[in-house]
Structure 1
Amino acid sequence: MSTATRSQNLTPKRALTGKLFLQSICVMLALVLPTQQAFAISLIRDAETERFIRVISEPIFISAGLNPRAVNTYLINASSINAFVTGGQNVFMHTGTLQQAETPNEVLGVMAHETGHITGGHLSGRREAFENAAAPAIVGYLLGIGAIVAGAGDVGLALITGGQTVAQRGFLAYTRTQEASADQAALDFLERTGQSGEGLVSFFDKLADQEALSERSQDPYVRTHPLSRERIAALQNRVDKSPFRDVKDPEEWQRMLDMVKAKLHGFIDRPQVTFRRYPESDQSAPARYARAIAHYKIPNTDRAIAEIDALIADYPDNAYFQEFKGQALFESGRSAEAAEAYAAADRLLPNQPLLMVGLGQALVGTGDKANVTKAREILERATQIERDYPTAFRILAQAYADEGNQPMAALATAEQNVASGRLPDAKQWASRAKRGLPVGSPAWQRADDISRIENPDI
Structure 2
Amino acid sequence: MLRRIITLTAIFLVALPSTVLAQGRSFIRDTEIEETLRLYATPIFKAAGLDPNGVSIYIVSDNSLNAFVAGGQKLFINTGLLLKAETPEQVIGVMAHETGHITGGHLSRVHDQLRNASAISILSTIAGVAAGVAAGRSDVGTAAILGGQNIATRNFLAYSRTQESSADQAGVKYLTAAGISARGMMEFMETLEGQELLSTASQDPYMRSHPLTTERVEFLENYVANSTLKDAKVSDDLYERHARMRAKLYAFTNQKQNTLRTYPESDTSVAGQYARAIAYYQNSELAPALEIIENLIAVEPNNPYFEELKGQVLLEFGKAQEAIAPLEKSTELSNGAPLIRLLLAHAMIETGDNSYLEAAKTNLMGVLSRERGNASAWRFRAIVENRLGNEGEASLSQAEYSLLTGDRQAASYHAVQADRKLDKGSAAWLRAQDILQATNPDGKPGKDAPK
Report the TM range for the smaller structure's normalisation.
Answer: 0.7 to 0.9
Q: Please point out which of 187, 191, 201 is paired with 1:202.
A: 187
Q: Residue 59 of structure 2: SS of its match in structure 1?
A: strand
- 1:181 equivalent to 2:173? Answer no
RMSD: 2.9
Specify the alignment match of 1:33 in structure 2: none
Offset of residue 207 of structure 1: 1.2
- Number of the residue aligned with 1:95: 79
Aligned positions of 1:136-215 closer than 5 A:
140-142=127-129, 155=139, 167-215=152-200
| 2: CA distance, partners of 1:394 / 1:448 | 19
Query: What does residue 30 of structure 2 align with?
Result: 46
1:23 to 14, 26, 51: 14
Q: Give distance in 2, aligned partners of 1:246 and 1:212.
A: 30
Match of 1:372 in 2: 357
Alpha-carbon shift at residue 48 of structure 1 (Å): 0.7
Question: Where does structure 1 lack aligned partners over 5 or more consecutive residues?
Answer: 1-8, 30-36, 160-164
User: How far apart are the structure 2 equivalents of 1:158 and 1:225?
Assistant: 28
**Compared with structure 1, are the counterparts of its residues 455 and 292 closer, same or farther at alpha carbon in structure 2 (3 Å cutoff)?**
farther
Judge which range, 227-236 or 51-60, deviates more.
227-236
Q: Secondary structure of the equivalent of 1:141? A: helix
Which residue, out of 239, 251, 276, partners 2:224? 239
Tell me how far apart the structure 2 counterparts of residues 397 and 10 of structure 1 sit (CA, whole Å). 31
**Alignment coverage as a number of residue pairs:** 427
Is residue 195–residue 203 contact of structure 2 (8 Å, CA) maintained in 1?
Answer: yes
In the alignment, which residue of structure 2 is the partner of 1:5?
A: none
Q: C-alpha distance in 1, partners of 2:393/2:17?
A: 31
Q: Report the Cα offset of residue 39 of structure 1.
A: 7.5
Q: Structure 1 vs Structure 2: percent identity of aligned residues?
A: 40
Q: Which has the higher helix share?
A: 2
Give the Cα separation in 1 of the matches to 2:415 and 2:403.
10
Counterpart contact for 2:13–2:142, Cα < 8 Å: no
For 1:158 and 1:429, the matched residues in 2 are separated by 29
- The one-letter code of the counterpart of 1:264 is L
Residues 304 and 330, structure 2, Cα contact 8 Å, conserved in 1: yes
Q: Distance in 1 between matches of 2:306 and 2:252?
A: 14
- 2, 6, 24: which one pairs with 1:14? 6
Partners in 1 of 2:396 and 2:196 — Cα distance? 51
Q: Render the CA deviation track for 1:289-347: whole Å, top value 9, x for unaligned.
A: 00000001111022211111111111111111111111111111100111111111011
Residue 379 of structure 2 is aligned to residue 394 of structure 1:
yes
Normalising by structure 1, what TM-score? 0.86
Contact kept, 8 Å, 2:68 with 2:77, in 1: the verdict is yes
For 1:287, which of 254, 265, 272 is the aligned residue?
A: 272
Q: Which moved more, 1:118-127 or 1:71-80?
A: 118-127
CA-to-aligned-CA distance 1:418-437 (integer Å, 9 cap, x gap)? 33344443333223212211
User: Does 1:126 pair with 2:110?
Assistant: yes
Structure 2 residue matching 1:213: 3-state secondary structure: coil
Shift of 1:348: 0.7
Distance 1:222 1:204 in 2: 9
TM-superposed deviation, 1:172: 0.9
- Work out the CA distance in 1 between the residues paired with 2:48 and 2:224: 19
1:62 maps to amino acid: K
Q: In the TM superposition, what is the alpha-carbon distance from 1:236 to its structure 2 partner?
A: 1.8
Is contact 1:158–1:391 with CA below 8 Å preserved after alignment? no
**Matching residue of 2:146:** none
Q: What is residue 46 of structure 2 aligned with on the other side?
A: 62
**TM-score between the two structures when normalised by the length of structure 2:** 0.88
Aligned residue number for residue 88 of structure 2: 104
Could you tell me which residue of structure 2 aligns to residue 299 of structure 1?
284
**Deviation sequence 1:129-155 (CA, Å, 0-9, x none):** 35554756xx65149xxxx9xx99895
Of the candidates 391, 395, 400, which is equivalent to residue 415 of structure 1?
Answer: 400
Structure 2 unmatched ranges of 5 or more: 144-149, 442-451
CA–CA distance in structure 1, aligned partners of residues 410 and 165 of structure 2: 45
Deviation at 1:404, TM superposition (A): 1.6
Q: Is the 8 A contact 2:6 2:141 kept in 1?
A: no
CA distance in 2, matches of 1:455, 1:354: 32
Query: 2:12 is aligned with what amino acid?
Result: F
**8 A contact 1:426–1:450 mirrored in 2:** yes
